[in-house]
Structure 1
Amino acid sequence: MTSGTRVPDTAPAGRKRPERMQPLAVLPIFLPLNGRKAIVSGGTEAAAWKAELLAAAGADVAVLAGQQVLSGDMRALLEEGRVRVHHRPWGLVDFDGIAVAIADAETDEAARTFACAARMAGVPVNIIDKPAFCQFQFGTIVNRSPVVVGISTDGAAPILGQAIRRRVETLLPPSLKDWAGLARSLRDTVAEKLNPGPQRRAFWERFVDRAFGGQSPDAASVADIRDDLSPPQHAGSGRVTLVGAGPGDAELLTLKAMRALQSADVILFDDLVSDEVLELARREAKRMLVGKRGGRESCKQDDINRIMLTFARQGKRVVRLKSGDPAVFGRAGEEIAFLERHGIAVDMVPGITAASAMASRLGVSLTHRDHAQSVRFVTGHSRHGALPADLDWRAIADPRTTTIFYMGGRTAGEISTRLQEHGLDPRTPVAICSSVSRASEKRWFGTVTEMAHGIGEIGYDEPVLIAVGGVFARQEQQAVALSA
């Protein structure tokens, strides 16, 4: 690809456009209730919880308790002035001018009567714990108001919804509430000073980066934000972020990597990046496979560099998504140097490298003090496909070091020979893993002298790690016992 060449489209003619949204069991809708009237039928604990939610949303809540004795929580809401309580049954007139109606009905007949009355009046209705009579449901809520996250399992698994809420709670810092309030106060100013499109998007992306820093906005951060409101000198300049996708398991992705994927305009991803990781990316982002894989036809590095440069010069936020960690055999240095020479801002988000994922999967410490005082990552092939000619095999054969060979499937036999030639005990344990952390993961355990046989069993069509060292003794012994 040469400079000025049109960047290819990733959707060939005739191929169906991928769906942006899969089918939904329910449509999440956020209903503004501030200053609007709502009624709750019942004085029970369940009714009190719904009344409290409505009051928290700013609704004027009337509780029609009939002859029921108010629960403790309902009495507390009354004493706090958050609801009004009427000790009479509901009537048709109560639905006039109402935004929402809720009831805790003891029987299906009572539920049906209340629901029918609400529908005749055109009022959305919810009957607590009786979904057959409900027009809407209450989801599990994460409250960082004005940021509000609603979670629904369509009634199938409320406990699952609560578990999801706990996970989301950990992702959203409490300070997000303050940042959201600041964002609201800036909306008119942003619209006045920045042009729609790339300028505004770039401002809000920088704002979001600060918001997820974990700290509440202070005077210095607010001053920096207001400086960002000045239109940039080079409105068309974008940036590139090199992001580590990890070994394949999407749950090993870092939070910072997820934020980069969610803010990207363009994602250039390697062949080894899993579909599960790509599913976490922003739906609107343009995705381009620029696969680089040993022994197969690949996109040339010069082409990848120029594609990144083309999009960045268009003002795009480009994510270069790499398997594992970009800083470990990911050619990140070449890409950073190229982009910096052309004046493009670059940053890097580390990923879980395959060796760390393998150690976790095998339950091994790579620097177990009884076996190894250091760990070494070594490339198993040069740009020409053979072992690099300048490796220090005497140092690599150190028995007190754990050595991990990346991309060494095709050179395993030569690796075994070189290690033995430079003094490593042929009985030294070896672990070979392919597709680490994926459903297709394979494992083999043996010794240095058996390494070529192990690769023969595992194969090298998928990414392979060859790990050598005493820290794998237990796994090798267990494999011997199982084969006996």
Structure 2
Amino acid sequence: MEPLAKLPLFWALEGKRVIVSGGSDAAAWKAELLAACGAEVHVYAGELSDTFETLILRGAEHPQGGFIHHCQAWDETIFAGAAIAIADCEEDNEAKAFFDAACIAGVPVNVIDNPAFCQFQFGSIVNRSPVIVSISTDGAAPILAQAIRRRIETLLPRTLKDWAGLAQSLRDRVNERLAPGPLRRAFWERFVDRAFSSSNGPEEGVGGQLLKEAERLREARARSKGRVTLVGAGPGDAELLTLKAVRALHAADVILFDDLVSSEILELARREAKRMLVGKRGGRTSCRQEDINDMMVKLAKAGKRVVRLKSGDPMIFGRAGEELAHLDRQNIPVDVIPGITAASAMASRLGISLTHRDHAQSVRFITGHSRHAGLPVDIDWAAVADPRTTTIFYMGGRTAPLIADRLVEEGLSPETPAIVISDVSRATERDWSGTLATIPDGIAQIGYDNPVLIAVGSALAARQTAARDTNDFDSDRHLVMGGR
């Protein structure tokens, strides 16, 4: 769990006594909010603004909410039995006195627009009650919170209120039919898809149809088993995930994730999903592939939805072929959600094209090491040295000098442009550019403790030329130029 500035809570106030001190418009807005939750709002103020007077005359729309105006200033006796206390104070000494009195009485307190005397804060609200979305920036940027609210308002249909009401009425009956776990979650996922795909609220009789669907799911469950989804997590930036990948993470019971998967991506997973690190890193203690295969089978046979979360794209140097074959042999349903591979992320981040009609008509992705940590011996190095091809070596940090020497031996010019990049798309990203001959210098500067890509080819020259002409280096990427 990433650090939270504040704990978001949704507080039941129906029928509770709450206190509002002050007769300003700001106090009126807070009083209206509290009454909308069904609270009995006791207002302490000698004078009320026109807005506040109108609000009290109109009364609360919530059947249990209401306003009681006490035409007097607050004192220490008013806090007994209160659920929360709000005040609008002009002076800090008054704010402190109200805050201290509430704290002594054990009542949570908020002094409007005075964070030093607030035990909790109000967020910017999107109201589709019973669906409520609250946005907080911890007081740092209220305008940002309002902008986020406006965007969410456009995404959530007004009919969501009616669908949420239907869900509330069906919940107990659905729970009677479907046990907690994948089956119940599958029902509600279909419910949500229906709610968001409809331009109208639920039609009459749809509740009965949904309960029949729950019965069908229960019957189908007895004949089914779990499944595995291989998901590409991309190079590290959570914003590069596909929508399908996010949906898979939301639906997972268990997530088997690689060592290179970022914490920001894991934050997007369903909170209840069990997370298991099964990472494999060169030169480090690793989980055996055979154990990972067996784990996926065991979990799927137990009826779990398993997400095998791999960095980059599962089908590019991710050993997905071995996992697919093992799952097929065990008759485990499996599907694959692609991810953005590191080479594509590198091209995007550095503003280069891997193909260019004047320089490179093809692109190759090659593993930079064999299983014995040396250069791969089962590839055609003469073909790799084709000057009309851009070649990207994955996992080639420790063999970088050997790669450069071998390509030169096969006839590729030592002046061929080259790039070394580590931790592509992450905050720790670093890159170097130079030539094939100076790759050893580049890897010495970048290092190989973090995932490294090596790109070689004349198509990279346009980017290097632009960098030399402008000398405009992106400090966020810690650009290092070499090989001059």
TM-score category (smaller protein): 0.7 to 0.9
Match of 1:46 among 26, 46, 64: 26
Calculate the TM-score normalised by the size of structure 2. 0.74
For residues 216 and 418 of structure 1, what CA distance do their matches in structure 2 show? 65
The yes-or-no answer on 1:193 pairing with 2:177 is: yes
Contact 2:35 2:67 in 1 (8 A): no
Contact 1:199 1:235 in 2 (8 A): no
Match of 2:276 among 278, 285, 288: 288
Aligned counterpart, 1:308: 296
Listed as ranges, the gaps of 5+ residues in structure 2 are 472-480
Aligned counterpart, 1:269: 257
The yes-or-no answer on 1:361 pairing with 2:349 is: yes
CA change 1:442–1:110 in 2 (3 A) is: closer
Contact 2:280 2:286 in 1 (8 A): yes
Q: Alpha-carbon deviation of 1:21?
A: 9.3
Q: Alpha-carbon deviation of 1:194?
A: 1.6
Amino acid at match of 2:320: A
For residues 476 and 265 of structure 1, what CA distance do their matches in structure 2 show? 46
For residues 233 and 135 of structure 1, what CA distance do their matches in structure 2 show? 47
Q: Alpha-carbon deviation of 1:152?
A: 5.1
The yes-or-no answer on 1:299 pairing with 2:299 is: no
For residues 115 and 441 of structure 1, what CA distance do their matches in structure 2 show? 47
Task: Please state whether the residue corresponding to 1:195 is helix, strand or coil.
Answer: coil
The yes-or-no answer on 1:234 pairing with 2:222 is: yes
Q: Alpha-carbon deviation of 1:110?
A: 4.9
Q: Alpha-carbon deviation of 1:147?
A: 3.2
The yes-or-no answer on 1:448 pairing with 2:430 is: no
For residues 14 and 438 of structure 2, what CA distance do their matches in structure 1 show? 72
Identity of aligned residues (%): 59
- Structure 1 range deviating more: 425-434 or 214-223: 214-223
For residues 48 and 238 of structure 2, what CA distance do their matches in structure 1 show? 51
Amino acid at match of 1:190: V
For residues 105 and 133 of structure 1, what CA distance do their matches in structure 2 show? 11
The yes-or-no answer on 1:433 pairing with 2:421 is: yes
CA change 1:144–1:458 in 2 (3 A) is: same
Q: Alpha-carbon deviation of 1:151?
A: 4.9
Deviations 1:243-270 (A, max 9, x none): 2222234454455545544553332222
The yes-or-no answer on 1:397 pairing with 2:397 is: no
For residues 98 and 54 of structure 2, what CA distance do their matches in structure 1 show? 23
Match of 2:50 among 70, 75, 78: 70
Deviations 1:85-142 (A, max 9, x none): 8593357898798654433233456556766786798765433234565554323445
Amino acid at match of 1:159: A
Task: Please state whether the residue corresponding to 1:241 is helix, strand or coil.
Answer: strand
Q: Alpha-carbon deviation of 1:166?
A: 2.3
CA change 1:45–1:320 in 2 (3 A) is: same
Cα-Cα RMSD: 4.6
CA change 1:371–1:43 in 2 (3 A) is: farther
Q: Alpha-carbon deviation of 1:193?
A: 0.8
Task: Please state whether the residue corresponding to 1:327 is helix, strand or coil.
Answer: coil
Amino acid at match of 2:13: L
Match of 2:310 among 294, 301, 322: 322
State the number of aligned residues: 460
- Structure 1 range deviating more: 201-210 or 333-342: 201-210
Task: Please state whether the residue corresponding to 1:158 is helix, strand or coil.
Answer: coil
Aligned counterpart, 2:141: 159
Amino acid at match of 2:129: S
CA change 1:113–1:373 in 2 (3 A) is: same
Match of 1:126 among 110, 114, 126: 110
The yes-or-no answer on 1:137 pairing with 2:121 is: yes
For residues 309 and 150 of structure 2, what CA distance do their matches in structure 1 show? 24
Contact 2:233 2:340 in 1 (8 A): yes
Aligned counterpart, 1:8: none
For residues 185 and 460 of structure 2, what CA distance do their matches in structure 1 show? 50
Amino acid at match of 2:121: Q
Contact 1:246 1:253 in 2 (8 A): yes
- Within 5 Å, give how 1:179-218 maps onto structure 2: 180-197=164-181, 199-204=183-188
Q: Alpha-carbon deviation of 1:48?
A: 2.8
Deviations 1:320-358 (A, max 9, x none): 121112132222243234324433333333333211222
- Within 5 Å, give how 1:56-67 maps onto structure 2: 56-59=36-39, 61=41, 66-67=46-47
Calculate the TM-score normalised by the size of structure 1. 0.74
Match of 1:89 among 49, 63, 72: 72
